[in-house]
Structure 1
Amino acid sequence: MQDHLDDLRFAHVLADTADATNIDRFKALDLEVETKPDSALANEAEAAVEKLIRVQLQRSRPRDAVLGEGDGLQGNGPRCWVVDAIDGLENYARGVPVWATQISLLDASEGSYQPVVGVVSAPALGRRWWAVKGHGAFTGRSLSSATRMRVSRVSRLPDASLAYSTLTGWEELGRLNGFLNLSREVWRTRAYGDFWPYMMVAEGVVDICADPELSPGDMAANAVIVTEAGGDFTGLDGTPGPRSGSAAASNGLLHDELLVYLNERH
């Protein structure tokens, strides 16, 4: 476990590197948009940040594998770093400050890869969240200036706040009716999108959230942060962790009901 705490400190160093590069390029983007934003500069920034993180990992953790959105999986072994250099790339390209770098460590020492370290850093929002398995989840500006996070205790869907990213994904999966029925049942809905709903579940300011289709880089850090804050993180099929290609997160009290609605078919 001590090694994982060391890995957390190193993940913060990686996040600092990513923040410095991402925020510099974000401020330099041409934000004059007539139709859809040109994402070329954003893609260039994402590739540059992933490369920087890979170089640092190769130097400091040469035995670990690395999985990134750009260059895929490199290396093998019982430990794998998962990197999403810019989660919320469309927001980044448009000048919306809701984007983040997600860095997580998966450890297979117990038989299957499980996230044991997660850092989500959103410099344009001035926010960072992190967790180590067995040590709780925190938010703050640094390891020495942090607040522990706890999920909410809301136990009824009519009192719950639901966050999501998109409606089209639910429609493509044939689950739109279930999602809409859920949205009618809860107290309120907000489409914050990307990493942010999961961090708000961990903070206890949102009670449930879900996405119909996500990559491992979108989920691994979120999973360990939500669960260490006392919540549940599964796929839509109920499988714990970030391996199902979809995500449902909650304060735990509402999770079974959440999955029932999200698995309704039209």
Structure 2
Amino acid sequence: MMDDRLKAALNMAHEAGELAKTMRESPSALETSSKGRMDLVTAADHAVEALLRERILKFEPDVAILGEEGGMEGTGKAVWILDPIDGTMNFSRGLPDWAISIAFFDGTQITHGVIHAPDLGITAWAKRGHGSFLNGRQIVFGDTVPESPIVALGYSPRGALTDYFARIETLLDAGIEHRRHGAATIGFLGVLAGWFDAFFEPALNIWDVAAGLLIVEEAGGVVRHDPFSDFLERPSNVLARNRGFPGLTTIVDSAEFA
């Protein structure tokens, strides 16, 4: 069941996606710069976040907003959490693996989440207690164990490269394939769509994952991360998986992935 908040988030996400694609058509206007190693920002990131903030405050004036580019604005326990373009490097190079992430945190838990991947033509959303949807189709994970499991792994300079390689080795030793797409939102969409059976990345910021955590959980999946009281302040390791893998569960829940 959609409520006004979820409808607003979906409308914002699609409007933001169109803005980002339009800006990308003029590469010189993107004004790409570096925030750090392997961490780009473009004019589109800033423009999309500004648009989302404007739409949120019009819909709900007395609310706090936490965005990747603008940080926290406003006060109160309820917070909209935004990643205007997750996968900026992919976006800036014309690759399709990027998405807009919008979530609402009520002070205790995430209650609404939307991930919109314009180039892939995929939109996922969830409202707590009302299921998870992918392009309008409800997703409910089954218990089937896959013959050829795949785990999506993320990496950033905030984590140790040796640990990343160790995770790959652990998976390969267990006969499990891995993929890396350069955007946490694509990891969540992949779990929901059945491309992957789990997604793991260390040291993620909450704006990268807030919507995805709810969307996977509402499909009957398992998510793991630090308590929100901590996660709102600093990065956390994040695991999201479906529920069909006894063997995979043991591996991705092991110390190597902690």
1:20: which partner in 2?
18
| Percent pairwise identity | 27
Deviation at 1:42, TM superposition (A): 5.4
Moved more, 65-74 or 239-248: 239-248
Deviation at 1:152, TM superposition (A): 4.9
* Alignment match of 1:115 (pick from 110, 113, 118): 110
| Equivalences for residues 17-56 of structure 1 within 5 A | 17-29=15-27, 39-40=32-33, 43-56=42-55
For the aligned residue pairs, the C-alpha RMSD in angstroms reads 2.9
| Equivalences for residues 75-90 of structure 1 within 5 A | 75-90=74-89
* Alignment match of 1:131 (pick from 126, 129, 132): 126
* Alignment match of 1:203 (pick from 190, 193, 208): 193
Residues 129 and 137 in structure 1, CA contact (< 8 A), matched pair in contact too: yes
3-state DSSP class of the match of 1:151?
coil
Residues 84 and 103 in structure 1, CA contact (< 8 A), matched pair in contact too: yes
* Alignment match of 1:251 (pick from 232, 242, 248): 242
| CA 1:62–1:80: 2 relative to 1, 3 Å | same
Inter-partner Cα distance in structure 2 for 1:192 and 1:203: 15
What one-letter code is carried by the residue in structure 1 that aligns with 2:114?
Answer: V
Deviation at 1:39, TM superposition (A): 2.4
| CA 1:28–1:38: 2 relative to 1, 3 Å | closer
Q: Does 1:262 align with 2:256?
A: yes
3-state DSSP class of the match of 2:133?
strand
| CA 1:186–1:163: 2 relative to 1, 3 Å | farther
Inter-partner Cα distance in structure 1 for 2:26 and 2:142: 38
Moved more, 99-108 or 240-249: 240-249
TM-score by length of 1: 0.81
1:34: which partner in 2?
none
Residues 150 and 204 in structure 1, CA contact (< 8 A), matched pair in contact too: no
Deviations 1:30-59 (A, max 9, x none): 6xxxxxx97249511110111111111112
Inter-partner Cα distance in structure 1 for 2:14 and 2:214: 20
Residues 175 and 263 in structure 1, CA contact (< 8 A), matched pair in contact too: no
What one-letter code is carried by the residue in structure 2 that aligns with 1:226?
Answer: V
| CA 1:188–1:38: 2 relative to 1, 3 Å | farther
Long gaps (5+) in structure 1: 31-36, 141-145
3-state DSSP class of the match of 1:211?
strand
Inter-partner Cα distance in structure 2 for 1:57 and 1:240: 22
Task: Give the paired residue count.
Answer: 245
Long gaps (5+) in structure 2: 34-39
Deviation at 1:193, TM superposition (A): 3.3
Residues 123 and 134 in structure 2, CA contact (< 8 A), matched pair in contact too: yes
Deviations 1:230-256 (A, max 9, x none): 101112x7x699936121111134434
* Alignment match of 1:219 (pick from 209, 214, 227): 209
Residues 201 and 207 in structure 1, CA contact (< 8 A), matched pair in contact too: yes
Deviation at 1:8, TM superposition (A): 0.5
| CA 1:83–1:180: 2 relative to 1, 3 Å | same
TM-score by length of 2: 0.84
Residues 219 and 242 in structure 1, CA contact (< 8 A), matched pair in contact too: no
* Alignment match of 1:184 (pick from 147, 152, 173): 173
| CA 1:152–1:43: 2 relative to 1, 3 Å | farther
